[in-house]
Chains A and B, each alone.
Chain A
Amino acid sequence: MKISYKWLKELVDLSDISPELLADRLTKSGLEIEDIKYQAQGTNLVIGKVISAIKHPDSDHLQVTKVDIKNEILDIVCGAKNCREGIKVVVAKVGAKLPGFEIKQSKIRGVVSNGMLCSLSELGVDIKKQSEAELNGIKIIDDEIEIGREDVLEILGLDDVVLEAKPTPNRADLFNMKGIALEVGAIFNRKTFLDKLEFLPVKNDLDFIVQLNSDKVASYSALMIKGLKVKESPKFIKDRLLSAGISTINNLVDIGNYVMLELGQPFHIFDYKKLNNNVLSVETGCNCEFEALDENTYAILENDIVIKNNQKIVALAGVMGSNDSKVDEESSDVLVEAAVFDNYSVRLTSKRLNLNSESSLRFIKGIDPNVYSEAISRLAFLMKEYGCAKEVVGVKTIVKKPFKETEIEISLNYINDLLGTEFNQTEILEVLNSLNFNPVLNGEIFKLKIPSYRLDIKIKQDICEEIIRIKGFSKLKTNNTLSMVTVGGLNNSQKIIRKTREILNGYGLDEVITYTLIDKKLKEEDLLIDPSLSYEIISPLSEKRRYVRQGLMGSVLECVSYNQARKVKNINIFEISSFSNKSEKYTRLAIYLSDNYLASKINKVNIKHDFYTLKSILLSYLKELGINSNRLEFKQNNKDTAHFYPYKSGIIYLDKKEIGILGSIHPTICEKYDIEESVYLEINLDLIFECKKEKVVFKPLDRFPSSKRDIAILVKADINASSIIETVEKSDKLVQSVEIFDIYNGIGIKEGYKSVALSIVFNSKDNTLSEEELNNAYQKIEFNLINKLEAEVRG
C-alpha cells in the first residue's frame, strides 16, 4: 500500500510530524514502512529568469548566465544545452541541499558560479516520470510563474512523499486511506478530518432486482447513475491515483478507484445500457467460459462467484467484469456494484486465473462489511461533481449476512497480567478511545464495541496487543526470570547423534546436510528399502524435487561428485538424517570415504581409506557408544550388489539384527555420479539408539602373565577370518585373544587355498599357565581347526 503523505495530511492532523517520524512510529506500531520516496527534494530553491547567457570563455559546452531571482541577479555557470536567454528556471542557491549534494559557491574554469540551474534529475525525480526533454536538460518553468517564488516543488507538482507500507495479513483496514488516518490518529493521539469528506446520500429505493443466490456474498448494492460524461479526471484524483501506483483511465473508472483507495470499498461499474434487464443475480459458478473485459476468455469453475444478468455472466465477482458490459467512451448511464464477497473464494479464483487487481487484493484481505453505504454516498458525490452526473437515481442494497459487531469484555488486571505491565485505568481508557473501541467502564471491566473496520480484533488477547503497541514496547520489562523450575536436557537419541558427530569429526569426516526431496535418479540409490514405500509430492516444484528420500546414498554421492569436480581435497563425509515413508520413521547415518586416511609424502606414508578403514571407524565409533565389536557381525552381501562390489561389501548385524550395509561402491554407480571408486556405509541408527550399552565396570588387571603362541594353517580360500577366529576362541576358555597377522596365497600354496598365521594369547586368572595346560589348549585348537574348518596345520 502506497501512502501519499500529502493526501494523508488532509485526513488527519500531521502538523509537526515529518514523513520520517511518521514512518518510524508506524513501523514500531506494526505497520512496516519499507521505503520513503520523495517525488523531489531540495532546499533553498527559487524560481529565476535567465536574463543573459553567453558562451564560457574557456569551454565549448558551458554558458555563463545572469539569472534574476527578483531580489538579486546571480552569476551562474550552466552546462545544459537547453539553457538560453528568456527562460524561467529552477535555481538552487548557494547552500541548497539537493539529494546527494550541496550547492557551494564555486569557480568553474575560472568563472565564479553562485548556484545551479536544476534539472529534474538533480531534484531527485524518478527518471521514469520525466519527458525526453526533461531528461536532457534543465527544467523550464511556465512563463506565468512569477520569479522569486520559493514554493518550487509545489509549483512543479512534485511536493508529495510516498510511504511504501506493508500491512500484516490481518490488518485489512490498512489498505485504504481512511484506515491509515485512523491508525495515525490513534498512534499520535491526533484528530482525524474524516468528518470533512463530502457525501451525497442515496436512498435505497432503486427499482431494480438484486438476487443473492449464493452464500458467498454478504451484501450487494447496485447504484444507478444517469447522464454521465466520460472525460479526463481532475488533477487531484489523477495525482492521488498515480501516487498509489494506479493508472488513470477516465473519470468514471478513476472515481471508483479513488473511493476504493479512500474508504476501502471496491466497485465494479456496468454500462447500464448494455444490461438486458433490471435483474442482477449473484451465483456460485458453473462450468462455462467467460469473456472478460481484458478480452481474454477464462474457464469458470463451480466455486467461482459470478454476477449474472439475464442468464449471462456479466462479472466474475471481485475479479473482473465482462467485455460486453464494460463502460467505454460512450457510456452515460451506469450501474455501480458495491458488494462484500467471500474473501477465500475470490482468492482462489484470482489465484487460479492469475488475475490480480487492486479490487481483488482488497476482497482477499477482507473489506469492512459496513463501509458500503458510506462509500456509495461518497462515490455518488464525486460522480455528480466530476462525472457531471445528471441524476443519481438510487441504490438497491440486499444484505444476506448482516454484520455483527464484536463485543469484548476485559479487565485492567487481565491486561497487566498478560503483558507484564503496570498500566492504570486512565491510560488504558485513553488508548481504547483513541482506537474507537467505544469503551464503557463497568466496575473493573471495560466493555468494548469493536468498529467494523477492525475485523482482526476478536478476543481479549487482541486488545492487549493493541494496548502495548500504542503505548510502546519499552513498557515491557526484560529483567523477568522464568520461575518455573524444570530439568532440561537431551534425550538418549539426541545425545547419541551429537556424540556421533563428535566421534566422526575426530576421524576427519565433515558433516553435510542435503535436500530431502530428490529426483528419480537419486531415488534409485535408496538402499535396503522397498522403493514403492517412498512418499511422492502431489505437485512438485520440479522433477528434481518429486520424491521424499528413503536413504542417503544418492544425495551424498551427488555432493561428492560436486566436490570432486571442484578438486576439493579430503572428501570424507557423513550425513545423519531422519526419514519417513509409508510404513515407518527412522534415522540413518551415511559415511563416504575416498581420500587418504593418513598421508605424508615426506614421510612416505600414504594410507588410503578402504573397506578396512571404514570398518574400523565403524567399530571404534560403536565401541565409544558402548557397543562392543563382538556384538556385531559382517555377513556376505547378497542383498544389494547393484551398489556395491559383491565380494567387497557386507551386511552389518548388531545383536543378530540387520542395521545396514558397507562396502566398496560398484563401478557402475561411480560412473553414474562421475566419482572415483571409494567406500560407503549406511546404517540405521534407531537400533543403535535402543540397544543395550555396555556398562562401565572396573575389570581387575590380569594377575598372572599371559602366554603367546603362533600357529600357521592352510585353509580353503573362502574360509573367512571371523570363522577362523571364532573357532579358535571357542576351543578353550584359556584363549584370551586371537589375531590374524598374515594371510598368504602366493607361490607354494596350492590353488584355492590360503595360508593364515594366527597369534593366540592364553591367560588364566587363577595361576600362571603350565606347559601342560598350554599344550592341552593348543591341541584342542588344532583339533577344531582340522575338524571344523578342514584346516591343515603347518606349524
Chain B
Amino acid sequence: MDIQNLKIVFDQKIQAIQNIEKLNELKIEYTSKKGLIQGLMQEMKNLSNEEKRSFGQKVNEFKEEVLKQIELKEKLLKQAELNHRINNDKIDITLDSYNFNRGNIHPLNLVVKEIEDLFISMGFEVVEGSEVESDFYNFERANTPLNHPARDMQDTFYINKELLLRTHTTAIQTRVLDERETLPIKVICPGKVYRKDDDDATHSHQFMQIEGLVVGENLSVSDLKATLQKLADKMFKNGREIRFRPSYFPFTEPSFEVDVSCHICNGKGCNTCKNSGFIEVLGSGMVHPKVLEDAGFDATRYSGFAFGLGVERIAMLKYGIDDIRNFYVNDLRFNRNFKRFE
C-alpha cells in the first residue's frame, strides 16, 4: 500500500469538504474500527517483522496526520458556521420595542428631599410631627395671640376648640422645643399644612412648608443670614445674593422677609421677578424670647433662629409653573416632568 498516495487522496477529500456532516463521514471512513487506517493495520499481518516496524510507523504517522487535519478542519468549519450565523442574525437597532419607565417621585417631595439633604449635611435632624395639631402648639406656643386673625374660624380648619389642621410647620418646631431638654437643637421640619383659602392658581387650601430651627448659644442674625445663603445657593444656583427686609411673624423677633436674587436673570430684571431682580422666597427671624421661655429655655442665655419656605412656591419658581393646583391634580403627564432636582 502506498501511504503516500493515500495521503494525497485524503488531502484532496478533506479540502473538498464544506460542512461538519461530511467531515464526520470522512472521519469514520478513515479512523473508525472498520475504517481505512484500521484496514492498513490488517494488512500488516502479512509483512515481515522488519517491514512491520517501518510500515507500522508510517501508518501511525498517517493516522496522526489525518486526525490533526480533521481537527483543524472541524475548527475552521465551526468558525465559518458561527460567522455565517452571526452575520445573518440581524435586528434593527434603531427600533424601540419595550419601554421601561422608571416611576417618578412627586415634584414636591423632590424639592423637600433636596432641601432635607442640604441640612442633613449641615448636621440637622428631620422632624415631621402631626398634621392634626392642637391650637396650643400651633398658635399659643408660636406666640400667636388669641386675637390674631389666623386664629379665626374663617382662616383655619378647626376640628373642635382644641384641635385643628396645622396652619404652618411652626407647630412642629414648638413641639420640638417642648420635648427637647438639651441644646443645641438643629432641626428641619417639612410637612403638609392647611389654610382656609379657596383653591385658585396661586392659593391652595393644602400646601407644603419646610421650616428650620436652630437654638443654642451665641446665635446671631448674621448666622441666620449665612445659613440662608447656603440654602439659596442650593435651591436656585450658586452665587445668589440674598436680601433681608424687616417683617412681622409672631414666632420670631426680629423677623425678616428674605429675597433671593433672581435665578433667571441674575438680578437684571425679568418676568419671573417682576423686574425687581429679586424674588421673595423665605420668612425668617430670631426665635421670639417668649417662645424660648415658654418651652423652658433661658432666653437671656440662649437664642435661636428659624426660617420657613413654601415648597410649592420654590417648585413654581424653579420650573416656571403658573398654577399651584397642578401639584394636587396629579395629572401624571405633569408629575412625570420632574425626574430630578437641578
Contacts and interface: CB of A to CB of B under 8 A. Distances in A.
Contact of B303 (A418, A487, A489, A506): A418
Interface in B312-342: 327-333, 335-336
A168 B216 contact: no
| Majority SS at the chain B contact face | mixed
Interface string A541-582: 100010010000000000100110010101111100010100
Contacts of B221: 418-421, 464, 468, 476
Interface stretch (B15-23, B42-50, B54-62, B95-103): B95-103
Counting from the closest, the 9 A-B pairs by CB-CB distance are: A420-B222, A465-B254, A420-B220, A30-B246, A344-B147, A580-B132, A486-B123, A168-B248, A480-B226
A510 B332 contact: yes
Interface string A301-325: 0000000000000000000000000
B308 interface: no
B97 A501 contact: no
Contacts of B226: 477-482
Contacts of B132: 535, 548, 580, 585
29 contacts: A29-B245, A344-B147, A418-B220, A418-B303, A419-B221, A420-B223, A420-B225, A464-B286, A473-B225, A476-B244, A478-B226, A478-B242, A480-B222, A482-B122, A482-B123, A482-B226, A485-B123, A488-B119, A494-B128, A506-B102, A510-B103, A512-B335, A514-B328, A516-B192, A516-B194, A517-B157, A517-B194, A545-B205, A574-B103
A513 interface: yes
A351 B152 contact: yes
Interface in B78-130: 95, 97-106, 108-109, 113, 116, 119-126, 128, 130
Interface in B218-253: 218, 220-223, 225-227, 229, 242-248, 253
Given A468-B254, A490-B126, A580 B97 contact: no
B331 A562 contact: yes
A536 B106 contact: no
Interface residues of B, number: 82
B263 interface: no
Given A473-B244, A488-B119, A498-B113, 9 more contacts: A420-B223, A461-B286, A462-B253, A473-B243, A490-B116, A501-B109, A505-B102, A517-B206, A602-B97
A509 interface: yes
B297 interface: no
B296 interface: no
Given A465-B255, A468-B221, A32 B330 contact: no
Given A516-B192, A545-B205, A501 B101 contact: no
Contacts of B223: 420, 480, 482
A705 interface: no
A530 interface: no
B254 A461 contact: yes
A484 B227 CA distance: 13
B196 interface: yes
B245 A28 contact: yes
A501 B102 CA distance: 11
A600 B95 CA distance: 11
Interface of B: 95, 97-106, 108-109, 113, 116, 119-126, 128, 130-132, 146-147, 149, 152-154, 157-160, 163, 165, 184, 186, 192, 194, 196, 198, 205-206, 214, 216, 218, 220-223, 225-227, 229, 242-248, 253-256, 286, 288-289, 303, 327-333, 335-336
Nearest to A504: B103
Interface of A: 27-30, 32, 168-171, 343-344, 347, 351, 417-421, 456, 459, 461-462, 464-465, 468-469, 473, 476-491, 494, 498, 501, 504-517, 535-541, 545, 548, 559, 562-563, 566, 568, 570-574, 578, 580, 585, 598-600, 602-603, 605
Nearest to A540: B157
Contacts of B256: 473
A398 B7 CA distance: 140
Contacts of A580: 130-132
A56 to B, nearest CB: 40
Nearest to A503: B103
A516 B332 contact: no
A572 B254 contact: no
Given A344-B147, A459-B253, A501-B109, A418 B286 contact: yes
A600 B98 contact: yes
A624 to B, nearest CB: 15
Contact of A484 (B103, B149, B186): B186
Contacts of A512: 106, 330, 332, 335
Contacts of B149: 347
A187 to B, nearest CB: 11
A480 B219 CA distance: 10
B220 A538 contact: no
A169 B332 contact: no
